[in-house]
Amino acid sequence: MSAASCDVLVVGGGPGGSSCAWRLARAGVDVMVLDRADFPRDKVCAGWITPQVLATLGLDAAAYAQGRTLQPFTGFGTALLGAEARPTEFGRTVSYGIRRCEFDAYLLARSGARTITGQPLRTLRRELAGWVANDSISARVVVGAGGHFCPVARLVNGARADASVVVAQEAEFQLDATDAATCPVRADTPELFFWPDLRGYGWCIRKGDYLNIGAGRVDGAHLPDAVRAFAATQMPRGLAPHAGALHWKGHAYTLNTSSTRALVDDGVLLVGDAAGLALAPSGEGILAAIESGLMAADVILETRPDCSRETFAPYAERVTKRFGLRRGQSPSLLDAVTPPSWLANLAARTVLRSRWLTRHVLLEDWFLHAARPVLAPGTTAPLN
């Protein structure tokens, strides 16, 4: 007999899993969250959220900022790798810098779900009444929210390989008083540096007394060289004087446009990076995780007690409607040949030289998703 039981087991306590659990718990569902880490835990992430995140979750910025990092960003600096970043000012808060160790712990505690932390998902087997995890937790439904390497995603998708995986490495460290006073990166203006082929970018993000430096690229085989090259461009500025001693951490994710992962199975739904839903082309994963977590919760609520693959099919349909077509759904559109390097270089230079294109296309569209309607609190219908 299982030592614990619940209606829904969420595997992964990050933003996607905790948002799903929050929506379910508010509706009276007995939900449990299982995570291999103890919270608060260190999480590799550049760490910014848009106002859409706060609105979608109904978070009060002032309340969250009490004792936590919530750095308003009112502009961005952008440039090609090796060039000096040119600022684009918005005159208002367009994003916030957060520390994931704080943000994720806050959302998990706020969810109201029962939690089992410090324990990975070791086994998951199907039984007549649902699923049994780790031979001790029974649940009718399992939500996979454990990131790119989520074991639930492996169960659903087997050995299926993602068509295109983005890999990143970064380091986050606290600035002492002297470094904080002389840091060339403004606290309200993160800096983004793009490779000429547009297949990746590096960043320098100031979050109060913390600085995050990192880089990500679509072709993971070249990532170590890319990170070293980017760090080298920052050393003369004093941002990474001891880059060789920094504790670089890596992570991976799949852009929604290139993901081939199945999102549902009998009694199973995948959300966030486990589903391969990072927003292209920026790789924004927090908003995608939260939105998909809420969508998954809504479908569970609407279809219970039935939890078959066919019953859960509307979740995949809503994800497509919200995030756009994924690879294989429209081969002629999404499986296009990678443009030649000269064309990518021309496009990068054209965008970054134009203040209008930088502001409206690169930043507002690609990074801030400013035109994306916010999901109404309490429902996964967009606010128009």
More confident residue, 128 or 88: 88
More confident residue, 35 or 209: 35
15-26 and 286-303 helices, crossing angle to 10°: 30
The amino acid at residue 285 is: G
Q: How far apart are CA 39 and CA 109, in angstroms?
A: 9
pLDDT-derived band of residue 208, with 50, 70 and 90 as boundaries? Answer: confident
User: 3-state SS string over 83-128?
Assistant: CCCEEEECCCCCEEECCHHHHHHHHHHHHCCEEEECCCCCCEEEEC
Provide the 10 A C-beta neighbour count for residue 117. Answer: 14
pLDDT in tens, 219-238: 766 788 888 888 888 877 87
pLDDT in tens, 182-207: 889 999 999 999 988 888 899 999 99
Is the sign of the CA dihedral 215, 143, 16, 284 positive or negative? positive
Residue 203 confidence (pLDDT)? 94
Q: Yes or no: say if 166 and 252 are a contact pair by the CB < 8 Å rule.
A: yes
pLDDT-derived band of residue 376, with 50, 70 and 90 as boundaries? Answer: low
Give domain limits for the chain: 4-70+98-162+255-334
Q: How far apart are CA 307 and CA 142, in angstroms?
A: 10
pLDDT in tens, 110-123: 999 999 999 999 99
Mean pLDDT over the full length of the chain: 88
Residue 234 confidence (pLDDT)? 82
pLDDT at 154 over 90: yes
Q: How far apart are CA 300 and CA 195, in angstroms?
A: 42
More confident residue, 120 or 208: 120
pLDDT-derived band of residue 315, with 50, 70 and 90 as boundaries? Answer: very high
pLDDT-derived band of residue 165, with 50, 70 and 90 as boundaries? Answer: confident
Interior angle at CA 106, CA 101 and CA 111, nearest 5? 135
Q: How far apart are CA 243 and CA 209, in angstroms?
A: 18
pLDDT in tens, 266-300: 999 999 999 999 988 888 899 999 999 999 999 99
Q: Which residues pair with 108 in a beta bridge?
A: none
pLDDT-derived band of residue 240, with 50, 70 and 90 as boundaries? Answer: low
Distance of CA 352 to the CA centre of its chain: 25
Closest to 110 in 3D by CA, of 68, 153, 47: 68
pLDDT in tens, 210-219: 999 999 888 7
Topology adopted by domain 4-70+98-162+255-334: FAD/NAD(P)-binding domain (3.50.50)
Residue 336 confidence (pLDDT)? 44
pLDDT in tens, 77-92: 999 998 999 999 999 9
Residue 332 confidence (pLDDT)? 38
pLDDT at 342 over 90: no
Q: With b meaning 16 or more CB within 10 Å and e meaning fewer, what string describes 173-194?
A: eebeeeeeeebebebbbbbbbb
Residue carrying structure tokens 């559109």: 333
Percent of the chain with pLDDT over 70: 90
Interior angle at CA 45, CA 224 and CA 210, nearest 5? 100
Strand 48-49, strand 268-270: pairing: unpaired
More confident residue, 329 or 154: 154
Residue 143 confidence (pLDDT)? 98
Percent of the chain with pLDDT over 90: 61
Burial of 253 (0-12, 13-18, 19+ CB in 10 A): buried
